[in-house]
Amino acid sequence: MTFRLPSAAPLLRTPQTAVLEGIAGFVPPDAVPNHALPAAWDVDDAWVRRRTGIGERRRAAPGVTTGDLALEAAGRALAVAGGPLVDAVIVATSTPDRPMPAMAPRLTTRLGLGEIAAWDVSAACSGFVYGLAAAVGALTSGCADRVLLVAAEVYSTLLDPQDRSAGILFGDGAGAVVLRRGERDEPGAVLALDLGGDGSGEELIQVPGGGARERSRPGEFGPGDRYFRMRGREVYQHAVTRMTQSAHAVLKRADWAAEDVDRFCAHQANARILSAVGDRIPVPGERHVTNIARVGNTGAASIPLALADAAARDELRAGERVLLTAFGAGLTWGSAALVWPELPPVPHVDTVGADAEVVPVPVPAPAANLTDPATDLAEGVDPATDPALRTQIA
């Protein structure tokens, strides 16, 4: 069943909404370029770039948690916004430091923000868009005047060292935005949202173990069930279809045509997916916001990381119409339309120079269980060649 924000919803009819006033991102300093990937994976730089568009990804050092990355990104975003007080903190993540409690209250305390509302959002790679919808709701309902939204992931803690299909894709990082209540005609205003979900696809992207199911039925789970699993071909199909549909829905809500979009920022899953979705909206490649080549797929953090990186590089201009879309486990998906604000200088996401440490990715022997390249998400299936999916996209 799909949830849609109806066109008559008070959220979208009220003259007030969330207005972006600060953004920043952070990635760990340790880089894993393609040439440092395990030899047992039998991949090279050209192979990975051709299938994913990724040149390197970042890995958190031992002992560095999702909360640590969130703290760094949040502090930077608050500084860009001028250090304002916030009334609520939302953290979007699939890799929390602990199953319980939520990360947001601890982050709030570490930032010295006082006893304010704080909660987590779990929507996998759609987490930032879902968190954005939660922030808009908190602001327009009067529950908060200003919200800090942070998306952070340390996916390296979930990756099976035998699974190259995920190992080549995912990196660690965090992105954060500061939002205040404001008017819909202001630069920075979030103008429209679209959210969707389909639990029948829950097994396409998952970590089977580690939760209450495993604790209640321990005999059914093994050590490998604590790792991230993904059925790549099916995920590719759903990702392209769902993001395309959601993007069209939010454009209609914002009363924008595709040609009105100045900048398009999709979840940085895979360069092939980004290109396929962009072609189907359509938004030409020169308007895409992407940094997947430098940081890989960072889950919920990917959209704010890419936007922060583009802002730091002066690639976003005040008044530009920005379209966001994402897809993740659940299945979940969502899109947002906003107008880019005038911002103070934003610190660069890439904080590492030529002396960055190159960290090889360890892989235990034997490596006989490596995912076959034919089933990799990187290989994908073009929905345009699948009649059933082609009709969905159309």
Q: Is 297 a catalytic residue?
A: yes
Q: For residue 334, what are the β-bridge partners?
A: 195, 326
Cα Rg of the chain, angstroms: 20
- Active-site annotation holder among 34, 270, 291, 297: 297
Catalytic site residue from 34, 265, 267, 270: 267
What's the token pair of residue 391?
Answer: 């009709």
* Eight-class DSSP state of 288: B
Alpha-carbon distance 278 to 190, whole Å? 21
Catalytic residue from among 125, 238, 265, 270: 125
**Per-position DSSP letters for 120-144, written without gaps between them:** EE--GGGHHHHHHHHHHHHHHTTS-
Distances (CA, A) of 345 to 76, 309, 316, 342, 353: 11, 11, 12, 10, 20
Q: For residues 28 and 154, what is the distance between their CA atoms, to the nearest angstrom?
A: 10
**Is-contact 350 24, C-beta < 8 A?**
no
Q: Is 17 helix (H, G, I), strand (E, B) or coil?
A: strand
Contact (Cβ atoms closer than 8 angstroms) between residue 260 and residue 319:
no
270 in catalytic set: no
291 in active site: no
The residues carrying an active-site annotation are 125, 267, 297
